[in-house]
């Protein structure tokens, strides 16, 4: 094994061993495949382009991630150079991107061409002079530069705690925070997942996830690449292409929405899944009824796991052993978890408290937020996840809720305060409260509850959603808006969101 702690150094060893095996293959037309040798060459060429554009070790490369082979090469090339990869959701508007550019101060900003013109002034204001494009089909100015650049064949000698990625995660108060993930964090977590989920060179991973967050990027790609497996590539999830690809795959990682939509199609059956060995679900809670229905239809028990942007994966149901619906399994090897009270005291088995975690997967801290970092860790190094859970005597973990009001819709984090601020700024709205309610497809759906500004009726649901659409990414938009005379409050004047969640819990149920 290499003594270089750079994540790509370990990948390069596996790529060399895999050589002519296919690394990436389009699951739907156009027919396109790239073997591991070719992937390494693309990464070297892309690293050459980054170096030519002035990217140096430690620099941030901010990428509004279109899902393409070129985007994969950009991620790996950034890591190879010792720079810091900062992926962002393609749904973010230029207004939303301005915050991330200001905070991360990237040397290079990469986005689809249509976004670049709007981003140029804010990028220039914050010292980012280089803006290049990657399109959904893999074309763009950056791949063009890579084709004529001098390839970078060396791999930057990174230390284990050097930054490899900056992932912004939404809380329920304040602005999004940049979780600083190191080479050790990413490598240790992917190697552990490769082992516990039994990934090897014979695997074919059906990849229908986006690659702007931890699940699709680090959990799926890092694990598959370190195993020398084939990644069967879909630009996005849709039922027809997934069903067409399943007979060619051995494994799939998805969010609960994937599984509910597949279950709605009568073509999903045991014969379709006979070549599959593993279905994995994460990023949002999987309903026990979905787990049961999928097993009855396919003969496969979905493996549910749990993780965060700050930690990668923390727990997993066992590959060999009982996969219990509604639980997230046991701490991964080398990872410690405990359930703690408000003061940090460890609780007894079966008691509900805050799940805390310590291990090589746990991030370095929040980018340029020293106070938030201090508040997130105990003195003994345990990270306070903010998720409420209980642990059985044998170590099995069940999540029971979140200490804060973060909404996870379709596997994506939604930050209520940001939406509330946008709604409260609208004429005719007195105040608002944004909550997540159960949804059969998305796990949780965004619901806004508003009050009128005066005597006149507030704006309608359609008017509010239309006003928010230019400001917010589509996944943040409320799916329903309800008007009430006043929001429920406690004696201290705090809005009782738990009461609202109970009141509107059946909004999306048949």
In whole angstroms, give the CA distance from residue 407 to residue 413. Answer: 6
Local structure of residue 460 (DSSP, 8 states): P
**Whole-number pLDDT of residue 510:** 67
CA distance 222 to 228: 10
Tell me the C-alpha to C-alpha distance, in Å, between residue 373 and each of 101, 218, 355, 365: 21, 22, 17, 5
DSSP 8-state assignment for residue 197 = T
Cα torsion angle, 464, 470, 471, 473, sign: positive
* This prediction's pTM: 0.85
Place of tokens 């650049």: 149
Which residues in the chain come in under a pLDDT of 70? 1-2, 170-174, 401-404, 490-494, 510
Phi-psi region at 189: left, alpha or beta (left = phi > 0; alpha = psi -120 to 50):
alpha
Residue spans of the domains in the chain: they are 7-281, 409-503
Helix axes 36-52, 7-18, angle to 10 degrees: 140
Interatomic CA distance for residues 438 and 428, integer angstroms = 28
Confidence at residue 492, expressed as pLDDT on a 0 to 100 scale: 42
- Note the residue count of the chain: 510
Tokens describing residue 209: 């996830």
The strand pair at 397-402 and 383-391 is best described as antiparallel
Give me the DSSP letters along 335-370: -EEEEE-TTSPBPPTT--EEEEEESTTS--EETT-H
Q: What is the pLDDT of residue 509?
A: 83
Residues 438, 407: contact at Cβ < 8 Å? no
Note the pLDDT of residue 170.
60
Does CATH place domain 7-281 in 3.40.50.10490? no
Asked, as a colleague might, if the bond just before 30 is cis with ω within 30 of 0, I would say yes
DSSP 402: E
Cα distance between residue 379 and residue 60, in whole Å: 30
- Strand 177-182 relative to strand 163-169, pairing: antiparallel
For the domain covering 409-503, report its CATH number: 3.30.300.30
* Contacts with 389 (C-beta within 8 Å, 6 or more apart), sequence order: 339, 352, 353, 354, 355, 397, 398, 399, 400
| Residue range 262-304, pLDDT digits in tens | 999 999 999 999 999 999 999 877 878 889 999 999 999 999 9
Token pair of 11 as six digits: 């990948």
Q: E strand or H helix at 14, and its extent? A: helix 7-18
Sign of the CA dihedral with 97 first, then 219, 82, and 16 last? negative
405 C-beta neighbours (distance < 10 Å), count: 20
CA dist., res. 442 & res. 437, Å (int): 10
Question: Locate tokens 């893999």: which residue?
Answer: 138
CA distance 466 to 369: 34
User: What is d(CA 332, CA 305) in angstroms, rounded to the nearest whole number?
Assistant: 10
């Amino acid at each position: 094994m290499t003594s270089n702690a750079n994540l790509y150094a370990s990948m390069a060893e596996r790529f060399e061993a895999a050589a002519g095996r296919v690394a990436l293959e389009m699951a739907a037309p156009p027919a396109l495949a790239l073997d591991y040798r070719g992937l390494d060459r693309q990464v070297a060429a892309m690293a050459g382009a980054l170096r030519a554009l002035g990217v140096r070790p430690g620099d941030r490369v901010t990428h509004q991630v279109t899902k393409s082979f070129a985007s994969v090469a950009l991620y790996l090339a950034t890591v190879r150079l010792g720079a810091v990869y900062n992926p962002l959701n393609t749904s973010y508007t230029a207004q939303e991107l301005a915050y991330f550019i200001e905070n991360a101060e990237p040397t290079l900003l990469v986005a689809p061409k249509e976004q670049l013109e709007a981003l140029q002034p804010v990028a220039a204001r914050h010292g980012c002079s280089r803006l290049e494009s990657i399109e959904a089909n893999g074309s763009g100015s950056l791949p063009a530069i890579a084709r004529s650049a001098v390839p970078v064949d060396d791999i930057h000698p990174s230390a284990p705690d050097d930054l490899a990625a900056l992932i912004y995660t939404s809380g329920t108060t304040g602005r999004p925070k940049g979780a600083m993930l190191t080479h050790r964090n990413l490598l240790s977590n992917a190697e552990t997942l490769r082992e516990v989920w039994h990934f090897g060179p014979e695997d074919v991973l059906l990849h229908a996830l986006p690659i702007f967050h931890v699940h699709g990027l680090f959990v799926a790609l890092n694990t598959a690449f370190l195993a020398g497996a084939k990644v069967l590539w879909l630009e996005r999830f849709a039922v027809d292409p997934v069903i067409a690809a399943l007979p060619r795959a051995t494994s799939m990682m998805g969010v609960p929405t994937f599984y509910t939509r597949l279950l709605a199609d009568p073509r999903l059956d045991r014969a379709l899944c006979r070549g599959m060995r593993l279905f994995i679900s994460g990023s949002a809670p999987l309903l026990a009824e979905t787990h049961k229905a999928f097993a009855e239809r396919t003969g496969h028990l979905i493996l549910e796991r749990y993780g965060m942007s700050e930690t990668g994966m923390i727990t997993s149901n066992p590959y060999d052993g009982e996969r219990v619906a509604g639980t997230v399994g046991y701490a991964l090897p080398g990872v410690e978890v405990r359930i703690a009270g408000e003061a940090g005291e460890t609780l007894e088995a079966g008691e509900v408290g805050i799940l805390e975690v310590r291990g090589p997967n746990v991030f370095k801290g929040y980018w340029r937020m020293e106070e938030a970092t201090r508040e997130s860790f105990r003195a003994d190094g345990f990270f306070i996840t903010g998720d409420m859970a209980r642990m059985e005597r044998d170590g099995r973990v069940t999540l029971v809720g979140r200490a804060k009001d973060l909404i996870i819709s379709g596997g994506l984090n939604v930050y209520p305060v940001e939406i509330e601020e946008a709604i409260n700024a609208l004429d005719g709205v007195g105040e608002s409260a944004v909550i997540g309610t159960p949804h059969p497809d998305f796990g949780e759906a965004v619901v806004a509850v508003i009050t009128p500004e005066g005597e006149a009726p507030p704006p309608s649901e359609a008017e509010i959603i239309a006003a928010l659409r230019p400001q917010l990414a589509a996944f943040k938009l409320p799916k329903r808006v309800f008007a009430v005379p006043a929001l429920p409050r406690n004696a201290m004047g705090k809005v009782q969101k738990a009461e609202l969640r109970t009141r509107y819990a059946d909004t999306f149920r048949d």
